[in-house]
Structure 1
Amino acid sequence: MAIPIDQIRITAVRTFLVAPDNTTAPEERPGAWLYFQEISNPMSKYTKYKDNRESWGVDVLGNFCVEIEASDGTRGFAIGHGGFMGCFLTEEHFKRFLIGADPRDTNMIWDQMYRGSQHYGRRGITMFTISVIDLALWDLLGKIRGEPVYKLIGGQTKDHLTAYCTGPNPDISREQGYWGSKVPLSFSPSEPDSLQKNYDALAAYRAKAGPGYPLMVDCYMSLSVSYAIKLVKKCADVDIEFWEEVLSPDDTEGYALLRQALPGVKWATGEHEYTRYGFRKLVDSRLLDVLQPDVMWCGGMTEMVRIATHAAAYDIDVVPHGTSHYTVHFCMSQPNSPLIEYVAYSPDGRSVAPVHGDFFVSEPLPTDGIVRPEEFSKPGFGLEISPHVELIPATDLLRPYFDIFGKKVPDS
């Protein structure tokens, strides 16, 4: 006999790490070009770490997975960033707010996790972990209700999703039907003659893309206010659609100076910002034209919708950061989300590919630059883990910790 929905409760929370793939060479893994191409970044001023993002530990945390099971046997699942630390926080702290809860109470569960962790972190790894839990909860709720997540968070607001492509080949992106292309800034301000080098590189990208094709630039929080102003002015004839993350999102005063100095330029940021509180000043001060929260970092789907609602009151577009199988549901449900980003995750950067490789059986990817809702209309997030993926239960790895400190090992 089926359990009435108002009686369904969360009965188990499990965490996993993904077994490493030791068979794929570094140059063949998804997005390899991102690691082997020089890209201006926050660590560029240190010669030792200038040329390779991996050398300074950009992905040191790795991924982890959360599975939430309800009393009717339904299971929700999500993957995101946080690695072993995400598993530990989920098992040792956040699980208490989930077991026995009604899975429909997403706002209360999120609020309890957020308030309950403020003494050790409101951003970073704490919010990564909350994000993955929240996404697993929405996947569970969608499966319980038999509906895709986008129908639960606002419904359909457009006929299809229009995608732009981030990668090193804007000419190929144009041929493949993408609305526009975003390219990385190559040289940091610490590089000799970097202003001219960056201009030459961006002019070459424009030549490849051709006239009239939207071209964006990702500066990866690596510039100063004065350098950004010089660069944007120098590149006026390159015709840049928007400049992304020229500064740290913490530098709201810097963004105010940029807006004052260059009022006609479009600015974007947000992938490294967290929660509605972090975005509040950026929105209220009208410092940006495009907000770019990452659903796997900013607090999950629950918080991302709040951020978008706040931005909507100021007519600010929300174009989430990065390729994400979760982002399609967000973008479909929000009227002020006109574009979706896909990254050229093929090793050579010539084509879009799933961010987690072949972790899932299939993910919604663009065809001719668009994604249609029928491609992600299964219950929950509509994703199925590939049968060859090996998940390592976190309780196996945490057992020595529980033994040493005399704690009860969580149910697996």
Structure 2
Amino acid sequence: MKIAVIGVGYVGLVTGVGLATIGHQVTCVDVDENKVAQLNEGISPIYEPGIEKLMIENINENKLSFTTSYEKAIAGVDVVYLAVGTPEGDQGQAELKYLKLAAKQVAECVTNPITLVVKSTVPVGTNREVQNEIQSLTSHSISIVSNPEFLREGTAVYDIFHGDRIVLGSEDKEALKKLTEINEGFGIPILITGLESAEMIKYASNAFLATKISFINELANICEATGGDIREVSRGMGMDRRIGAAFLQAGIGYGGSCFPKDTAALLQISKKVDIPFEMLQEVIHINQRQRDRFLDKLRSELKILTGKKIAVLGLAFKPDTDDIREAPAIYIIQELLKEGAVVTAFDPIANNNGIKQFGQMVTFTDSPEEAFLEADAALIVTEWDEIVQTAPNQFKKLMKQPVVIDGRNSFDEKAMERAGVNYMNVGIGEIKELVLE
């Protein structure tokens, strides 16, 4: 089937490539001419393992192309996907102006009835509102389907072909039948819902996963105070099939383009309908406190940060992506700079994005060793292989003070101790006698 995808950001590109790979004819639209030219050469604007290989294969088979022209992409197609960004607004709400502008441009270009598929994450009620707005702009029938994405950065190529479910929300049976046929090639279970339910599933899923992360991090703090080991606790919890092991790794909190934005947006939705979501509010607060607790360990150890050289190892919010949006490292660096620290940083992929963010205020290096050379402390923020495979004796050998604070529990504390490193991690407490009243 001929399909147009509007928006070639993270979601749009992976969606377009995935649809082409299962046999559809896909044209993707982006307003940036230079970006489109690179895309047509098989060069991805995002770092995502495996994406460029599939791009090149589908381009060479004439199943995938990129253009700046809405008219060219939409002419004669039956289905248009909207994958436009919905960034967080100043009050935590999802910003919908880009989505509505793209929908309006689609409506002005259609020459036949179409099904408009919204991949963008939008508040409950948005799809119905968009359908009403754009239908007034054209005499051609426009059916709308909510099809939220569940891609994980770093594994998105795998996820699009091996996801847990595909959610299709609509009240138009013909549109649902068409979208079911389109997605059958993925071989993934398809769940049919109403529009509002599909919109809520995306927010609810991310909010629940964020809740698991904040829960295990708060539990890690209790372990530190009581002598427990959060790694053992997580394993014990995860063996219960009702709970599951995913998202029970203690650390310094969630980040990225989805969890912070979606939890804030769901909180705003709850306020709008006057249903206080106090638990979600606390999830967000815990996530922020976890970063501050991490910094407090550094302050406790060095006392004064002014003039101290601090190495931040890892910038991306997780490995296998260059995304630094809402990454814990960005907040940590900002706080270090406020306190007068001299910051060096290393990330194998995200250094360029870090340079765009901080410029000359931070020194970015080509290796972790170069970053912590003569440093007073090293902070493990992202568990890249290039970082966690560092030999413990290198910290002792190269640092001014071998102080390592590990926000990802990625090193063996006994090996670090044997190497003479002053090592601190998350959720591993010293055994002490408790008096419980």
For normalisation by structure 1, the TM-score amounts to 0.23
For normalisation by structure 2, the TM-score amounts to 0.22
| Larger RCO (CA under 8 A, 6+ residues apart) | 1
